[in-house]
Amino acid sequence: MSTVTPLPVAQFVRIAETARASVSFVLDGVEVEALAGDTLLTAILTQQRHVRRSEFGGEPRAGFCLIGACQDCWVRCEDGTRLRACSTPLRAGMRVLTQIDSDNEGGAQ
């Protein structure tokens, strides 16, 4: 019998600064909330275990350096705009995609 504890749904668990105002945004078609002042990376990782899937093999990616140096946290807005999640402030109403069909990227870099 296994005694392995299942992983939480979110990669980040907020333990401080919980009194900031909530901000709603849409993540992969689902309206969710984060806190005012969060980066997009923090907002995403408080909702799920990864930021995106690697375009080279489909493995989940959760960012690497978390400070804007590695280029591993790119996501897209629903309109196709690319955003670096670690350095983009969350704005109310953002519509972010972390699951992108590689056939529909239109030659994205």
User: For the chain, how far is it from start to end, CA to CA, in angstroms?
Assistant: 47
What CATH number does the domain containing 87 carry?
3.10.20.740
Closest CA to 53 of 101, 94, 5: 101
Parallel/antiparallel/unpaired status of strands 82-84 and 74-77: antiparallel
- Give the structural domain span for 66: 22-97
Tally of structural domains, the chain:
1
Q: What tens digit of pLDDT does each residue of 76-98 get?
A: 999 999 999 999 999 999 999 98
The pLDDT tens digits for 30-66 are 999 999 999 999 999 999 988 887 778 878 878 778 7
Q: Is residue 14 domain-resident?
A: no
pTM, rounded to two decimals: 0.79
